Amino acid sequence: MKTILVTGSSGLIGSEVCLHFARLGWRIHGIDNNQRAVFFGAQGDTRWNQRRLEATIPGFCHHELDTRDRQNVLTLMAELKPDAIVHAAAQPSHDLAATIPFDDFDTNAVGTLNLLEAARRAAPEAPFVFLSTNKVYGDAPNRIGLKELATRWDYDDPAFEHGIPETFTIDQSKHSLFGASKVAGDVMVQEYGRYFGMPTCCLRGGCLTGPNHSGVELHGFLSYLVKCNLEGRLYRIYGYKGKQVRDNIHSYDVARFVEEFIANPRCGEVYNLGGGKGNTCSILEAFEMIAAISGKPTQYEYVDQNREGDHICYYSDLRKMKGHYPCWGITKPLPDILEEIHLGWVTRNHRQ
Ligand SMILES: NC(=O)c1ccc[n+]([C@@H]2O[C@H](COP(=O)([O-])OP(=O)(O)OC[C@H]3O[C@@H](n4cnc5c(N)ncnc54)[C@H](O)[C@@H]3O)[C@@H](O)[C@H]2O)c1
């Protein structure tokens, strides 16, 4: 039986990867210390998801470990010598990073180095998948010519008809401290691939989503938006007239790509992993879509100030991923994703 080590296992992506590989017959080890509750308070608590994994995955082994704890990361990796590693633990918020720069950098950059070096020493052949972010491109995508449509912005440049490719510059733009700490991790993951020949890849995520996100205002776009709609909370739109565009991908389709990469790994690769153009929406459009499901409007207020370094329009060009892994594609269209998030919320709140 093969072993996979997943960091951030109680989070959205980590938990999906754990369940996916358990279904494929792998032995699952997860690392998570519920740091999300420290970052975001009770609303970000992911213990419920840890309990879900413990209840549903036979033999699931949870490690209450902080990825910043270098010695214990080295020790665990040496003990496990996993066949694959998925690193999804992070300080994931763009806005929060500026208030906790040491925690942000230590988690996103140094924590990633701890795992890479532990992998190089104990399991250098194991495919290493890093969850990076589209914020590595900073606000450079905002320099692309845009057109304003009734409910959204879109690129007004045929070069970006399919979205942002992996060749887009990551340099000389405003990233937020989060984007900068993720760049450090991203470049290091590439380097362990190119310099040491390890099978590593960076997945530069757009909006990763699904029913198992502990969405909060500062992280988890659709999950938080649906929560606001259903709980009658006020949603704040920050700038860009609410027409800012995001591409959304279900965590299941993320896990399916991770499976493809692990089955046929490459060295030091980079992929833009989002829902692509077909799964885009603006905030205003997301309000409409959730209202159609829940039957009620979202209460919102408009703040005429965009978030620092925030993208006006971003969607991933998926052609490189599909070129390298032709069996992979999006299986969950946006309306289905919203239905699932809605159902997940209803089910969880019904149980409580
Ligand atoms: N969700 C998105 O929209 C999105 C977009 C782009 C990139 N990403 C990236 O994908 C990855 C996973 O995101 P997610 O949405 O699943 O996040 P999440 O916050 O739901 O999950 C991350 C998990 O990591 C844990 N964690 C954080 N710091 C830790 C530490 N120091 N030690 C141990 N555990 C720790 C948290 O408790 C949490 O359970 C992150 O690297 C994030 O930057 C996410």
- Would the pLDDT of 276 be above 70? yes
Residue 149 CA to ligand 1 centre (angstroms): 33
Any atom of ligand 1 within 6 Å of the Cβ of 68 = yes
Mutate to test the pocket of ligand 1, among 6, 17, 35 (most ligand atoms within 8 A of CB): 35
Model pLDDT for residues 42-89, shown as the tens digit of each residue: 989 999 999 999 999 999 999 999 999 999 999 999 999 999 999 999
At 213, the pLDDT band (50, 70, 90 cuts) reads confident
Task: List C-alpha distances in Å: 148 to 125, 152, 155, 190, 334.
Answer: 48, 6, 9, 36, 22
Model pLDDT for residues 126-175, shown as the tens digit of each residue: 999 999 999 999 999 999 999 999 999 999 999 999 999 999 999 999 99
Residue 7 CA to ligand 1 centre (angstroms): 9
CA of 49, closest atom in ligand 1: 39
Any atom of ligand 1 within 6 Å of the Cβ of 35 = yes
Q: Nearest C-alpha to atom 17 of ligand 1 is from which residue?
A: 11
